[in-house]
Structure 1
């Protein structure tokens, strides 16, 4: 009776080569490692009947296997310097207990000459202003070098009967300095406000002294032009806080306001800028706006 066919026995060398053939595309370090593995397998005695001395010698040879151009023992991880991947740290928006803690945090993160000019250079604000903005939720600071100040702002394009647009030409600040503006009415948004709510508040706070209506009725004389809303993001250095980059989320509207003088330039008184919010002692040390000066210009002169 004939013997059944014997199963084909594959050597471990064959298995190893087949394994390598079916591997996905490898990186250069993996290819080098595989090549050295094959070299090791073919250099190792395959017979189980080898003498113990030969086995010991082969083992010692494997342990002391050297790459021709290296004089040290094989250490792939050390030789290849395989990098490890790490996720970037998320940016954290910081809050501060006091203006002094904010100042201490900012000082090493900003150019020293720029930071020293805050509240000293005409037209700039100081660290008390920034602390109030953060504590009231109007501004956030990213934990980065340098920090980035993010603000949501409404830009209110007040359109007159003749098609001209109202712009703020300059501001008079509480320290007596004058800050040139030449831009439409704008206001930082509160955290709980919609852009439309911020428009009404901006008109009340900055133009209310000449409209002569009750504060609660200001919405009756303000009409937002339907379809005029636009939103864009601008990144630029802040004029109020030199050296501090800012990201402005600008929400712009065209608005009609009844009761404004349209035949000449005019001035309005600012409501207390920090009234009813924040720390009164800190607010007294902040630079605030006392008066706004307005003029009408052609719509073509306004940047979109």
Structure 2
């Protein structure tokens, strides 16, 4: 054994084994290092991946709104932001930035103004779908107008009619450019009704300011809505009916009364159905204090008649004849 270990072949074999072991160890370290690099690279790619999103952001105006009224600008502007995915997601959810146009140094008239963005993180880039807005700055005016209900009267069913509308507010404040407010011809609460309408309407209605041609004006209304009640009832018509004179009040058992009047008939107003049932109108003649022939003015009333709204005349002269039994 000692001779073998001292031989040249033994030394060569030992050197070969050591070389193989060292080679295997170095390869193992290299593989581990490469795997670590790939893992770190993948993680870094995940953390720094980019995202693009478009946000519909409200447009703010820097302007003296108590003195001027601005028209022509969009309510919102689309902003496309791009950058680290996590940062883009947070910004899209919170929208902690503003899109604005600075009008503070502009005078009355038409202008083209640059849209600006403030408050975005520096790591984000952005683009706007509208880089400039075209606006009109005018002196501001506020005026008060009466409001009335507006609806399609042709929707009321045949044989029915609409009564006087009742609104929750009688007047509104109209604010806008002087040129627009001066064009207001009327302010209406627009009521939507169905066809063949037979029932009263009770709804919340939008208020609009219209010019002489019925076109809606670009103004701000306060309030912008109101409640509206429109009574719908059977259409009233008239009919002439005779009066039916009847004694009322305290009467004596041994006394009888007869009545006559020069007014042979009266004109009553009511629904068609109610008038069809009415052949005469009862009129009470109070004889409590009557002891001899006399003439009295008697009130004619329709209070006891359903769906009868009025009568003409409202009083008649009645001759009372007293007879002892």
With the length of structure 1 as denominator, give the TM-score of the two structures. Answer: 0.21
Higher normalized helix content (fraction of residues): 1
Higher normalized strand content (fraction of residues): 2
